[in-house]
Amino acid sequence: MTYLAKPKLHHPELPKNKLGFTRRDYEGTVSTLCAGCGHDSISSAIIQACFELDIAPHRVAKLSGIGCSSKTPTYFLGQSHGFNSVHGRMPSVLTGANVANRDLIYLGVSGDGDSASIGLGQFAHVMRRGVNMTYIVENNGVYGLTKGQFSATADRGSKSKRGALNSDESIDLVLMALQLGATYVARSFSGDKAQLVPLIKGALLHEGAAFLDVLSPCVAFNNHDGSTKSYDYVREHNEAVNSLDVITVHREITTEYPPGSIQEVKQHDGSILRLRKIEASYDASSRLSAMTYVQSRYDRGEIATGLLYFAPTPRDLHDSLNTVATPLNQLNERELCPGNAALEKFNAGLR
Amino acid sequence: MKPISATNDFVIKFANVNGSGSASANTLFAKAIMRMGVPISPRNIFPSNIQGLPTWYEVRVTERGWLGRRGGCDMMVAMNPQTWDPDVAEIEPGGYLFYDSTRPLPASKFRDDINVIGIPLTAITNAAYSDPRQRTLFKNIIYVGALSALLEIDVPEIEKLIAEQYKGKEKLLEPNIRALHMGRDYALANLQCPLGIRVKRSDGVGKKVFVEGNSAAALGCVYGGATFAAWYPITPSSSMAEAFAKHCRKFRVDPESSKNRFAIVQAEDELASIGMVIGAAWNGARAFTCTSGPGISLMSEFIGLAYFAEIPAVIFDVQRAGPSTGMPTRTQQADVLACAYASHGDTKHVLLFPEDPKESFEMAADSFDLADRLQTPVFVLLDLDIGMNERLCDPLKWDDSRHFDRGKVRSYQDLEAGARFGRYLDIDGDGITYRTYPGTHPKRGSFFTRGTSRDRYARYTEDGKAYVDNMQRLLRKFETAKELVPKAERIDASRATRFGVIFYGSTGPAMREALADLEDASIEVDALRIRAFPFHDEVIEWVGRHEHVFVVEQNRDGQLRTLLVAEGAIDPGKLTPVLHYDGTPITARFIQGEIAQRLGAFNVTPIKKTAATGGGGE
């Protein structure tokens, strides 16, 4: 049996959120990934974020491509509709779904092979269209399901488990997302839940293309000396540029931090992103600065994490398409079918 | 050689250079004849190029209203020196050559058995206009003017059409009218008018409309309730997406908010187009893509997903000549198998074969009901001949009492009331299961969609039994599809016959004429027009009732024939392919010739001949 439902026993005093759901209501089935896989930590962070944001699970559509990362939507939000599409092409399916019903929350989960190799084209275009979504890449620099080949995010000079050296330059999806027009761009580490959960929350609330690159070491094939995507390597080279609090409007609180070290930004939906700066010079509202910063840290062998860029009032695909507020899948026949009288007029113009 | 003499029954062909502005003048010519009540059947024959290569526009003037190509050419308007020799050679004996006589040509460039009409078009144009662009454009209108005198086309009809064309651009109206009369006056003063071929006002057009298949199909998508189109430009399907945009801007903008009740995304490639359609359809919107053969190849992986995950995607394939890039601007029916079995693994897809623009409209609208009902990809197989040529057809009609059939969808109320839900449970035994749209109910009805094997509750499994159970149900669903797709059209011969002919799609108009011609020659064949795949049982029975059946197709390998053999378990020896695949639309002459010749090989004597000789037999 390759499918295991979690036992339904609940502790009677599990805390509930505003919707009356417990954290268990946001879980999925038992993971079939390797024990210790970073992806499971990300699933757990997604569960935490949705629980804390009081998101009704059925209002989330979770979509993925193919690969270890793309299996994960089965392991969280069991009450949400999921779609495990084809390799590298989740972005187009998500785009279509979003166009059809703008009222749901779209969560795309992908991997580095899925997004940076076979799916690089779709990754690029979903960002440049500004599709309102949270796009998470669970990045381990390796193909897990096919047993250890390098992916396009593997750093040049890094070593595979079998000892092969990667001779190709790596693709930095954060830099690409920044260049392509994503309006919320962050990087994090699966082993840093304190940083990851608020970043996911911010992304879910962001009404535009939100991209999160999460370094997520592969315990089976890429967690060894010589890898630049191992737990140890990422821990040692992680440099957080800021930390984030997300405050939704209905529970807004006054600031309790010393002025000057906090930057509060109101998002489109009214929620507030509160950035606690670690490095005073870091400006998360500048796309150009973000690109320069990420690249300069990379050149020093560091991995910049945190919220790297965001636009508080982004445009999304529906703005570009000028679509009606009612989701397209809810329009009725009267609104869609012009009827025979209009057709007769049309015929008259064809003679 | 006696000049061809025919009223309202001839073929005229314009040989031009791509990008010279001849298309609008040639259409003007054809429409003027149509406005005189005389049916026309025009064809664009154009290169995969923007400027400079040869292009032809062929107008069949046809009192009887035949809508296919006849074959041959009674008058050539030879405006392209590059193709002079083959153009002159194509004229029927006794036919007419219309050419620009500004520069003399040697006698060897003409034929003795045709009638030559020279008009110094360049000289006339150069004298009237100094601007080179004007000279090129007005030369076209000048020859239309000359032809109006030679063929007796009503000038007021042409003038009215020009007025319609330049409505709002009155500055251009007067010079066009002047050019028209320049040509006409020259012809009346210097040439013998009219010719043996001519046009006479008639009432053959009636209420028929003149429209391209792509435009009609796009309108069918509007009427069928499609709210989303994702596409990638490819000839000959691009004009369908563009027409959908145009129709939507007219019919689908919310008058209060000025916002769109539709969305159109020009995707980055065909893979993304179909991916978007699948995402939208999964989410409960009616969505389609339109493409051509190479696009089908690229979409195949996703099509397999839609088949296995059971998502109602609608795909319009406006076929062109393949394989590979083939001849991108020439027509064929060569994607039948690629669509029927698109993607790896065991797949079968529903195909619809519209015959003309009217049926393109109807089948486009129907395809969304079918896709929703069956929860599977549905292909509408047009081709360049239907898609990109304006044709006369019956007016488009809509039954206002009709409702969209959204198929088996569990609503919030159904789920709340405790309706049984398992995404792949075959509750009704017809192979079609129930789905819910994402976001329907907080606790019930959600499921996981995937291209991997799963059990009846959409749970991933590699259990062989569950896989076989699912694959068998998909076959049951395909059986159900037979009851839902359009039935084949039977055209019975006037006498009993042991011979039959099967045809489909754009072959229809030429086939109908060929059948009439065969009947005139006392050759009796029953005909069956296939309108959809899967084939109904009646199709297989019909083949069974005939000793021999011709299958007329516009591809090299007899693809529909292969499908009939494979899916209907028909003896291949019984099905004789009649194939036309040079990229031009099939003609009645070709079909009639092929069938008559092959029947000869079966030792069939026409009935009239039998009666005259008082004996013999088949």
How close is the nearest chain A Cα to the Cα of B290, in Å?
15
pLDDT in tens, A136-149: 999 999 898 888 89
The candidate with the shortest Cα–Cα distance to B310, out of B126, B448, B403, is B448
Residue A270 has a pLDDT of 85
Q: Does B518 touch chain A (CB under 8 A)?
A: no
Contact residues, chain A, for B261 at CB < 8 Å:
323-324, 328, 331, 335-336
Contact residues, B window 208-237, toward A, CB-based 8 Å cutoff? 208-211, 219, 222-223, 225, 227-228, 230
Distance from CA of B183 to the nearest CA of A (A): 26
Question: Testing the interface with B: which of A80, A99, A317 to mutate, by most B Cβ within 10 A?
Answer: A99
- Contact between B439 and A93 using a beta-carbon 8 Å cutoff: no
User: Does B615 score more than 60 pLDDT?
Assistant: no
CATH number of A23-321: 3.40.50.970
Mean pLDDT, residues B10-34: 95
Which residues does chain B have within 8 Å of residue A344's beta carbon, measured at their own beta carbons? 395
Question: What per-residue confidence (pLDDT) applies to A13?
Answer: 82
Give me the CATH code for the B210-393 domain, please: 3.40.50.970
Supply the CATH classification number for the domain B6-198: 3.40.920.10
What confidence tens digit (pLDDT) does each residue in B387-403 have?
999 999 999 999 999 99
Collect the ranges in chain A with pLDDT lower than 50: 1-2, 252-255, 257, 259-260
Written as one letter, the residue type at A46 is: I
Query: Under an 8 A CB cutoff, do B228 and A340 touch?
Result: no
Q: How confident is the model at residue B548 (pLDDT cuts 50, 70, 90)?
A: very high
What interface predicted TM-score (ipTM) does this complex get?
0.95
Return the sign of the alpha-carbon dihedral for residues B244, B246, B251, B255.
positive
- Classify strands A262-266 and A149-150 as parallel, antiparallel or unpaired: unpaired
- Look up tokens 């979509």; give the residue: A63
Residue B214 has pLDDT above 60, yes or no: yes
Nearest to A3 among B257, B277, B460 (CB): B460
How high is the pLDDT of residue A254? 47
Which of A72, A80, A85, A180 to mutate to probe the B interface, most B CBs <10 Å?
A85
| Model pLDDT for residues B501-535, shown as the tens digit of each residue | 999 999 999 999 999 999 999 999 999 999 999 99
Structure confidence at residue A220 (pLDDT): 87
pLDDT in tens, B257-310: 999 999 999 999 999 999 999 999 999 999 999 999 999 999 999 999 999 999
Which of A10, A67, A61, A49 lies closest to A221 in space, CA to CA?
A: A67
Q: Is B57 helix (H, G, I), strand (E, B) or coil?
A: strand
Query: How far A175 CA lies from chain B's nearest CA (Å)?
Result: 21
Q: In chain B, which segments carry CATH 3.40.920.10?
A: 6-198
- Does B448 reach chain A within 8 Å, measured CB to CB? yes
Domain with CATH 3.40.50.970 in chain B: 210-393
**Chain A nearest C-alpha distance from B288 (Å):** 11
Nearest to A99 among B280, B397, B399 (CB): B280
The pLDDT of B201-225, averaged and rounded, is 97
CA distance B334 to B321: 7
| pLDDT confidence band for B216 (50 / 70 / 90) | very high
Q: Looking at the complex, does the CB of residue B257 fall below 8 Å from at least one CB of chain A?
A: yes
Higher per-residue pLDDT: B68 or A278: B68
Average pLDDT, chain B: 95
The predicted structure's pLDDT at residue B50: 86
Distance CA B67, CA A32 (A): 62
Q: Do B439 and A324 touch (CB under 8 A)?
A: no
Residue B231 has pLDDT above 50, yes or no: yes
pLDDT of B36 over the 80 cut: yes
B505 φψ region: left (φ > 0), alpha (ψ -120 to 50), beta (else): left
pTM of the full structure: 0.95
Task: Give the start-to-end residue ranges of the domains of chain A.
Answer: 23-321
Instruction: Give the per-residue SS3 of chain A.
Output: CCCCCCCCCCCCCCCECCCCCEHHHHECCCCCCCCCCHHHHHHHHHHHHHHHCCCCHHHEEEEECCCHHHHHHHHECCCCEEEECCCCCHHHHHHHHHHHCCCCEEEEEEEHHHHHHCCHHHHHHHHHHCCCEEEEEEECCEECCCCCEECCCCCCCCECCCCCECCCCCCCHHHHHHHHCCCEEEEEECCCHHHHHHHHHHHHHCCCEEEEEEECCCCCCCCCCCCCCCHHHHHHHEEECEEEEEECHHHCCCCCCCCCCEEEEECCCCCEEEEEECCCCCCCCCHHHHHHHHHHHHHCCCEEEEEEEECCCCCCHHHHHCECCCCHHHCCHHHHCCHHHHHHHHHHCCC
pLDDT given for residue B369 in this prediction:
98
Contact A336 B222 (CB under 8 A): yes
Residues of chain B with CATH 3.40.50.920: 489-602
Q: Across the interface, which of A100, A122, A342 has its CB nearest the CB of B228?
A: A100
Q: Do A328 and B222 touch (CB under 8 A)?
A: no
**Set of chain B residues whose Cβ sits within 8 Å of the Cβ of A101:** 283-285, 437-439
Interacting residues of B33 by C-beta distance below 8 A, sequence separation 6+: B40, B59, B61, B153, B199
Instruction: Measure A278 CA to nearest chain B CA, in Å.
Output: 40
Q: Which residues of B touch A323 (CB under 8 A)?
A: 259-263
> pLDDT value at position B394?
97
Residue of B nearest to A32 (CA): B460
Would the CB atoms of B462 and A93 count as touching at under 8 Å?
no
Contact A79 B446 (CB under 8 A): yes
| Residue A302 contacts residue A189 (beta carbons within 8 Å) | no
CA-based nearest residue in chain A for residue B405 = A333
Q: Do B227 and A331 touch (CB under 8 A)?
A: yes
User: In the CATH hierarchy, which fold is given to the domain comprising B489-602?
Assistant: Rossmann fold (3.40.50)
pLDDT above 70: percentage of residues in chain B = 98
CB B383 within 8 A of CB B331: yes
Phi first, then psi: what are they for B92, rounded to 5°? -65, 145
User: What strands lie across the sheet with B548-553, from one edge to the other?
Assistant: B489-491, B526-530, B499-504, B548-553, B575-579
Query: Residue B88 pLDDT more than 80?
Result: yes
Round the CA-based radius of gyration of chain A to a whole number and report it. Answer: 21
Taking the CA of residue B475 and the nearest CA in chain A, the distance in Å comes to: 23
Convert the pLDDT of each residue in B330-369 to its tens digit.
999 999 999 999 999 999 999 999 999 999 999 999 999 9
Searching chain A, which residue's CA lies closest to the CA of residue B441? A58
Taking the C-alpha atoms of residue B38 and residue B204, their distance in angstroms, rounded to an integer, is 5
Q: Answer for the pair B347, B296: CB distance below 8 angstroms, yes or no.
A: no
pLDDT at B63 > cutoff 80: yes
* pLDDT at position B54: 95
CA distance A251 to A288: 33
Per-window interface: B 305-334 vs A, CB < 8 A = 305
Is B332:B321 a contact under the CB 8 Å cutoff? yes
User: What pLDDT score does B545 carry?
Assistant: 96
Considering CB atoms only, which of B273, B438, B451 is closest to A86? Answer: B451
Both tokens assigned to B215: 């435009």
Position B89 pLDDT exceeds 50: yes
Of A86, A124, A323, the CB nearest to B302: A86
Chain segment B234-255, per-residue pLDDT in tens: 999 999 999 999 999 999 999 9
Q: What is the pLDDT of residue A250?
A: 61
Nearest CA in chain A to B438: A81
Mutate to test the interface with A, among B219, B228, B254, B283 (most CBs of A within 10 A): B283
Cβ pairs bridging A and B (under 8 Å): 226
pLDDT recorded at residue A3: 57
User: Quick check: bond before A312 cis, omega within 30?
Assistant: no
pLDDT of residue A266: 85
Residues 385-424, chain B: which have Cβ within 8 Å of A? 395-400, 403-404
Asked if B306 and B474 touch (Cβ cutoff 8 Å), the reply is no
Does B447 lie at the interface with A, CB-CB under 8 angstroms?
A: yes
Measured between beta carbons, the chain B residues lying within 8 angstroms of A54 are none
